[in-house]
Structure 1
Amino acid sequence: MGRLVSLNVGGAEPNPAKDSGMTTGIGKRPVDHPLTVRRPGPKTTGLHSGVVGDFIGDTKHHGGDDQAVYAYSLEDYAWWSAELGRELAPGLFGENLTTEGLDLYNALIGERWQVGDEVLLETTFGRIPCSTFQHRMAEPRWIKRFAAANRTGAYLRIVREGTITPGARIEVVSRPAHDLTIAEAFDIYMHNPQHLSRLLVAEALPPQLRTDIEKRLADTPS
């Protein structure tokens, strides 16, 4: 059993990591009131974030039904705090849900979380770091360091819509039959393409990602 220690949303802000005029919602801040989550629809043409009131600037790479909500754990924040030698506040990584008591590092792709009394979420994949994240952290080689650590947090799709309240309990209510974790899947995808076929055991993979993996496998000489 876990707990939602911080519920975070971001508004539109200038994005200094991208071309002039681009905006970002990575600057997430905790709220002290309930928020509605609903399926946002397709990545580029839908409502983008699954959390009402949350902004996503780069709609090509973020948001949509398979990245509707992003979660990061206090436990992984503590690991990074020790690595970086500084305190890291909830929301810094741009997550909507800061969790406590859930092992996100060993979470399986396709496991389902009951959040409070209404909302049901399903893990889909880890977070691939980008230049906006790099700029926000102001750490040397941050993209490579974050990717190498495999502490990616979890993207989630919304299985059942509803309202989430800060402090809500989070319970893993089902896990798939396979043993493919988010950390292992991310490591394979980013660093060990010779094992890409392993990822296809996870039915909950985002369809676009599955298509990309299948294409990469088809293009690989036998």
Structure 2
Amino acid sequence: MDPLNDAATSPYVLSLNVGRLTPVPHSDSPSGGTGIDKRPVAGPLHVSAPGPKGIGGSGVEGDVVADLRHHGGDDQAVYAFAREDLDAWESELGRPLANGAFGENLTTSGLDVSHALIGERWRIGGRLLLEVTDGRVPCRTFAGHVGEDRWVKRFTRRAETGAYLRVLEAGPVRAGDPVVREYVPEHGVTASLAFRANTTERALLPRLLPAARALHPEALAAARAYVDSGQGS
């Protein structure tokens, strides 16, 4: 039985979360603001696909991405994080974490998001179709938002990163929508593996190449450069 989409767990969107632009001292954005403080909304909200020329404009209606140099864009249009992983962090940190606490648009239930495969596709609520592209790399803004010492290192060490997704087919989303893994590739490259390869375990970079079709372009470029340099031989 597929552990990531077991019928007994019935994966679904537990919470839909959006953020407004908020000025904070720990922002990496040139504006000095961030949209990481995402709060649950009832929805439904529309999730846009890339524009007519195949670029730009995708993401969750009303959600702010303050620093487009490092966040957002068509290959990181939606960010998902599992409620189960938030619960694990609650136990470690000793305090409650609300849905959206890690800046995720979709807080899921019954889905092992960090071990989703690069290129797997999620049909949400019948119309919206998303594709996994990468794991999330923590930054100074994330650390300041969470407010824990050595947060970047702690998050990196666990490597339960959640998943970035691109929008293949636009559609509405709301809390309670079912998540169906409509397509699952066979290469075995997970969001967590991609994260580890691009951060603490560079020797893993060649293992990302079988996922080249769907992998975030920056992660793919890093993998190809590593192999071309001869380090992956």
TM-score range, shorter chain: over 0.9
1:158 is the counterpart of 2:167: yes
Q: 1:72 pairs with 68, 71, 81, which one? A: 81
Q: Which runs of 5+ in 2 are unaligned?
A: 1-9
Residue identity in the other structure for 2:49? R
Deviation at 1:217, TM superposition (A): 3.0
Q: Percent of aligned positions with the same letter in both sequences?
A: 48
Q: 1:201 pairs with 193, 210, 223, which one? A: 210
**Residue range with higher mean Cα deviation, 105-114 or 89-98:** 105-114
1:13 is the counterpart of 2:22: yes
Residue identity in the other structure for 1:213? A
Q: Please give the secondary structure, in 1, of the residue aligned with 2:157.
A: helix
1:40/1:27 Cα in 2 relative to 1: closer, same or farther (>3 Å)? farther
**Residue range with higher mean Cα deviation, 102-111 or 152-161:** 102-111
Partner of 1:86: 95
1:34 is the counterpart of 2:44: yes
Q: Please give the secondary structure, in 2, of the residue aligned with 1:172.
A: strand
Partner of 2:6: none
1:21/1:68 Cα in 2 relative to 1: closer, same or farther (>3 Å)? closer
CA distance in 2, matches of 1:88, 1:30: 12
Q: Which runs of 5+ in 1 are unaligned?
A: none
Deviation at 1:177, TM superposition (A): 1.7
Residue identity in the other structure for 1:212? A
* Contact 1:40/1:64 (<8 A) preserved: no
Deviation at 1:46, TM superposition (A): 3.3
TM-score when scaled to structure 1? Answer: 0.92
Partner of 1:210: 220
Q: 1:23 pairs with 29, 33, 37, which one? A: 33
Q: How does 1:41-52 map to 2 (within 5 A)?
A: 46-47=56-57, 50-52=59-61
Give the RMSD, CA atoms, in angstroms. 1.7
Alignment size in residue pairs: 218
Partner of 2:4: none
Deviation at 1:117, TM superposition (A): 1.5
CA distance in 2, matches of 1:183, 1:65: 20
* Contact 1:123/1:156 (<8 A) preserved: yes
CA distance in 2, matches of 1:196, 1:10: 33
Partner of 1:99: 108
Q: Please give the secondary structure, in 1, of the residue aligned with 2:60.
A: coil
* Contact 2:27/2:34 (<8 A) preserved: no
Q: Please give the secondary structure, in 2, of the residue aligned with 1:191.
A: coil
Deviation at 1:193, TM superposition (A): 1.0
TM-score when scaled to structure 2? Answer: 0.88
Partner of 2:181: 172
1:218/1:138 Cα in 2 relative to 1: closer, same or farther (>3 Å)? same
Q: Please give the secondary structure, in 1, of the residue aligned with 2:115.
A: coil
1:212/1:87 Cα in 2 relative to 1: closer, same or farther (>3 Å)? same
CA distance in 1, matches of 2:34, 2:109: 26
Deviation at 1:40, TM superposition (A): 4.6
* Contact 2:15/2:174 (<8 A) preserved: no
* Contact 1:10/1:55 (<8 A) preserved: yes
